[in-house]
Structures are given as structure tokens and as C-alpha cells.
Amino acid sequence: MKILSDFNLSVDPDEVNQLLTKATAAVSSDGDKDLLRKIFGLIDLTTLSEQDNTENVSLMCRKVNQLGEAYPDMPGVAAICVYPELVGVVKENLENPLVSIASVGGGFPASQTYTNIKVMEIEQAIEQGAEEIDIVMNVGKFLMGDLEYLDYEIQVIKQRVGSVHLKVILETGSLKEWSLIRKASLLAIGAGADFIKTSTGKISPGATPEAMVVMCCAIRDFYNRTGKKIGIKPAGGISEPETALLYYQIVKEILGEEWLNCERFRIGASRLANRILAHIFDKGPDFGYF
């Protein structure tokens, strides 16, 4: 776990506040519709409810399939993200080859199970068609300081998923200090994460702009040292276009234009897609396409 000794793990509050101030100032007050179209194409359209079933996931897929006909000027979403058991439903019903199939895995959302069970679940999701896997870092072990085990576990999972994109969720709402968010970011990156992600959406707070800034700075510092680009995914409570615009500007300010695409930047959301469509096409507040 050499990476943690290679980087300064402290966080400068002044830098965080300055970067957040710059990003906030860059957000258009009228909600730039062209930019919101681009952000729509960065969404991992997510349903992770205990009520999920074949019917509602199939309907979501049909809505994604029909989006181009209903709204020809809109891009497709980046991915559909579901529980492992429903990956096969997405595989069967999704017709747009540009939309990826993503699955949570590894004992989501608490990550409180055995590593071999996590690996087995993830491998089954991939066999059913998952092209991206979102796992949760075991926060309990992290807070206890069992970093060697976390490094080992993420490495094992990354080795088994191979070329499948691995997103590691830090659950930043449970990490009460910015220095802990930075440490968790670098640990996950060093262990093989292709993306780091803020939250599961199952606890409060979910994503916050401050956590996003800290995570982007960790990715920036890793890139400056190694030349390797790691993706970033805010998720958890992102439902309004203005919030999505702020996260976009944070990435632009800290990481630059090369990250502003679905290969390096996603937003995990369920309601955001509807809110963006409503804003762009001047629909009412109760509008719901998905």
C-alpha cells in the first residue's frame, strides 16, 4: 500500500473553499440547456430499491430505448445501474448499445460480508451482462484502520473483474474529516479502482460539493504523479439540474476538459434525468418520463 506513503494525506481547507467558490461562480444562473444535455449523457440512471423487480426495470429499459424517438435532441444516458439479480433483465431489454449495463455488488450497500461472497456475487453479475461494477469500500474496516485488508480486497476484486470498469464507493457521508476522504480516495485508486464514487445514496449526507472537491484533488494529484486518469462519480441526493451543473464545474475546474466525458465522469441519479428533461423542454415540476 505504498501509495499512502507517496502522497500528503492532509487537506488544505483554503484550497477546498477556493476551488468550490470558483466552481460555484461558473455555474450559469439560467441553467445552460446545452450543458444540461451533455450532463444528461453522463448519468448512470439508477434504481436500487427493495421494491425493484422485473417489471419496473424492464419499463426503465424501454424508456431508455424510446428516448431518441421521444426527444431526438437528447443523448442517451451513460448507463443503467441495478442490483445484480436484475442485470439479466437489463441485458434482455436494453436495445441501445451505447448505454452500459452497471451493477452494484460486493454486499451493497454496507459491504459487510466476506470477500469470497463479494467476488462470487460480482462474477455472477458479470456473467449476466454487467459491464461496470460499483462496490462499496468497507467503511467499518477503514475507520478501524484495517487498510491492508481493504487494499487486498479491492485488488482481488479488480483482478477478478478484469477489463470491467470498477467503481469504488467511499460513502463519504460516513467519513467526517476531509483528510479521511482523501486517504480513502488514494487507497481505492492505489488498489485498482477505475472510478471513485462518493456515496451509495443509502445514508445522509450523500454526495456533497466539498467531498467532491477533495476527491477530485486526489485524482488530480495521482494523475500529476503517474499520468493515469481515474474517473469520478458523485451520487446520492443529486436530483436538481443546478446541483449537477455545480458538480460538472468542480470537475472542469480541478481536472479539466479531458475528464468531461462518460469515460471519466458519471453522475449516479434516479430523479435527475426527469428534472433535466423538464428544464430543457419547459415541462411542469411533476413531469416524469422515467
The catalytic residue positions are 134, 197, 233
Spatial contact of 133 and 165, defined as CB atoms under 8 Å apart: yes
Measured CA to CA, the distance from residue 47 to residue 274 in angstroms comes to: 13
53 contact partners, CB below 8 Å, separation of at least 6: 86
Distance (Å, whole) CA 65 – CA 89: 14
Rounded Cα distance between 216 and 20, Å, is 11
- Give the span between the Cα atoms of 274 and 58, in whole angstroms: 18
Sign, CA dihedral 83-85-91-95, equals negative
**Among positive and negative, which fits the CA dihedral 243, 246, 250, 251?**
positive
C-alpha distances in Å from residue 31, one per residue of 12, 37, 235 = 31, 11, 20
> Strands, E, within 107-169: which ranges?
132-136, 165-169
Q: Could you give the CA distance from residue 182 to residue 89 in angstroms, rounded to a whole number?
A: 37
Query: CB–CB of 171/200 below 8 Å?
Result: yes
